[in-house]
Structure 1
Amino acid sequence: MELEQVAPELRDAVARLGGVPLERRVGRAIGRIAPRLMRWPREPGVRIGRARVGGVRVRTYAPPEVRSDAVLLWIHGGGMLIGAPAMDDHFCSETAARLGIRVVSVDYRLAPEHPFPAPLDDCARVFAGLIARGHARIALGGQSAGAGLAAGLAQRLLDEGGPQPIAQLLDCPMLDDRTAADAARDDEAHFVWDNRENRLGWRSLLGQEPGAPSVPAHAVPTRRANLGGLPPAWIGVGSIDLFHDEDVAYAERLRAAGVDVDLLVVPGAPHGLLAVAARSALAERYRRAAQEWLRARL
């Protein structure tokens, strides 16, 4: 992929991008430890803390003024392999302050050491723990792999028949292992997250090669046949993101199943806009769109 395909205001940030060798244990270790050590931008006045909910470690964001009893259960990205809740301090603290809600970000177990269903189990335990604490109105949200887990959690909760989330906010979600199985996409060299990395992430999560005839229920959101009954969804993705096609297809299938969906495609944006160029005007408009959609659901 050529840099000219990237939106002009994002090109400098994309050109500076580096990477870590995720296929190597040392590379994954860097991608797990570094986010916990870095000082990430955060919204002034928001109290950030650590706790356990449902026995799972979480990062919490409390606004200066709580204006709603709703909670956003957030799930960080990292391709199922790396990442930590702190890397989303900017979005989570800003969302807490702008909407006047509490945000709880899950520190879930990572593959390949902890394959499916461990990551989803952790997220489900946090949801159940919030319900047990009296939080009846919970929105699910996440970025990339975390957004894929959020979508899978919404499906699992629907099948279990208990308390349901009121919304799902999915930022460039990782939804379909069959994208990784398509080797023709390898040559396109997508920025930020390419198909070789995608294949490694899905293989690590599923414990098998992506694209197999069958996968465990709730592991791959797009494999679900019936999407009816799921909560309203906001799906945002860049036009040059590897996940663009699968995200748009999922949005269309949700709509066809009667689910209220707001789809935002950002021209010239690569994967992970909020992480790659958080201070850009394009990212600010993207965050605002997601937050205002969530405000309306609350």
Structure 2
Amino acid sequence: MSYTLDPEIVDVMAALAEQAAAGPRPGRGDWRTLRAVGEAGQAYMAGLVPASSGVQSSTYYARGHDEAAIRLRWYTKSSREPSGSADAAPTPAVVYAHGGGMVMGTLDLYDEVISWYVDRTGVPFLSVDYRRAPDEGTGTTLAEDVFAALTWLIGHADELGVNPVRIAVMGDSGGGGPTAGAAILARDRSVPLARQILVYPMLDDRNQTPDPARSSYLTWTYDNNYTAWRAVLGDAFGADTVSPVAAPARLTDFTSLAPAYIDVGDLDIFRDEAIAYAQQLAAAGVPIELHVHPGVPHGWERFAPHAGSAKRAMADRAHTVSTL
């Protein structure tokens, strides 16, 4: 049986393919063009959904493992009781790592996404400006930056009105790898973590064998994946020495990791690694919730937000955040 697209996204996919054919195409290994093209696409997607009203943000800084300043953006619902108020009970919170193949994406390009989650759930989010490969950071640095944001939030939980044992880490696509890596660090360093929420996460640098049956549906290609992982790992790319903090699919001991929520599209090159990661978590006794959405490729809910499958996926993620 052959793969087929969700009928609600056929026209959108055709339009995107036409746009892509008219623009620059990143060559294999060309991370600069991949970043430029990808961020233009992220800006386009950010404009497809009206900005959420009633969400405010402020800027903070954490210190990375190497003492570098990591910019953070704290989002709260405007109607939330201010911290320190007698009526304000400590709330859960989410530390978020934006998507972009670990080589692109910015805090600004994810304002719309984060604001939607905060508006929908009432749960505050801390978005992390982690260093992108290869010019800002490589290897485990990306996950260390997300972990630094987590520990910063725990350290400032009282003043921000957050319950320090009800904090989750969350990331999509290229942000999913550093998010899973931060969850590994949290376990290994005995830092409390309520949940890891991985949205079509990029976990395995060894995922380089194309699946011809899905090739015509891909929005993140195997060439893109090669370029991105090569940027992150450099000469270590594909070697046995790659740290699971940098490429979480390399992990061999999944015991005692935070409970996980994972979702991925059936036409996404990350499908198999996401399912395998969920299986290994489950085999180690870690509670999981896994969603595999049929007929949709990588990032479909961003460029086809009005499709029923996109609305269901977003609602499921919001429910997971709301129940922290």
TM-score by length of 1: 0.89
Q: Does 1:166 align with 2:191?
A: no
Q: Does 1:265 align with 2:292?
A: yes
> Structure 2: how far apart are the matches of 1:31 and 1:225?
32
Alignment match of 1:64 (pick from 78, 98, 103):
78
> Structure 2: how far apart are the matches of 1:269 and 1:39?
19
Alignment match of 1:208 (pick from 226, 232, 235):
235
Alpha carbons of 1:251 and 1:106: their partners in 2 closer, same or farther (altered >3 Å)?
same
Cα deviation for residue 84 of structure 1 reads: 1.3
Alignment match of 1:78 (pick from 86, 91, 100):
100
> Structure 2: how far apart are the matches of 1:272 and 1:78?
10
The structure having more radius of gyration, on CA atoms, is: 2
Could you tell which deviates more after superposition, 199-208 or 66-75?
66-75
> Structure 1: how far apart are the matches of 2:234 and 2:6?
36
Could you tell which deviates more after superposition, 48-57 or 279-288?
48-57
* Partner in structure 2 of residue 10 of structure 1: 9
1:18-65 CA distance string (max 9 Å, x none): 455441535524545785799644211111343324431123321133
> Structure 2: how far apart are the matches of 1:29 and 1:171?
23
CA contact (8 A) 1:228 1:257 kept: yes
Look up the equivalent residue of 2:177 and give its one-letter code: G
Q: Which runs of 4+ in 1 moved over 6 A?
A: 36-39, 184-187
1:93-117 CA distance string (max 9 Å, x none): 1221222111111111111112112
1:1-298 → structure 2 map (5 Å cutoff): 5-17=4-16, 18-19=19-20, 21-22=25-26, 23=30, 25-29=32-36, 31-32=38-39, 40=47, 41-54=50-63, 55-66=69-80, 69-113=91-135, 114-134=137-157, 135=162, 136=164, 137-161=166-190, 163-180=191-208, 182=209, 188-208=215-235, 210-296=237-323, 298=324
Cα deviation for residue 240 of structure 1 reads: 0.8
Identical columns (%)? 33
> Structure 2: how far apart are the matches of 1:187 and 1:266?
14
Look up the equivalent residue of 2:192 and give its one-letter code: Q
> Structure 2: how far apart are the matches of 1:37 and 1:283?
17
Structure 2 gap segments, 5+ residues each: 64-68, 81-88
> Structure 2: how far apart are the matches of 1:35 and 1:272?
10
Aligned residues: 293
Look up the equivalent residue of 2:201 and give its one-letter code: P
Quote the RMSD (CA, aligned, Å): 2.5
> Structure 1: how far apart are the matches of 2:43 and 2:222?
26
CA contact (8 A) 2:56 2:76 kept: yes
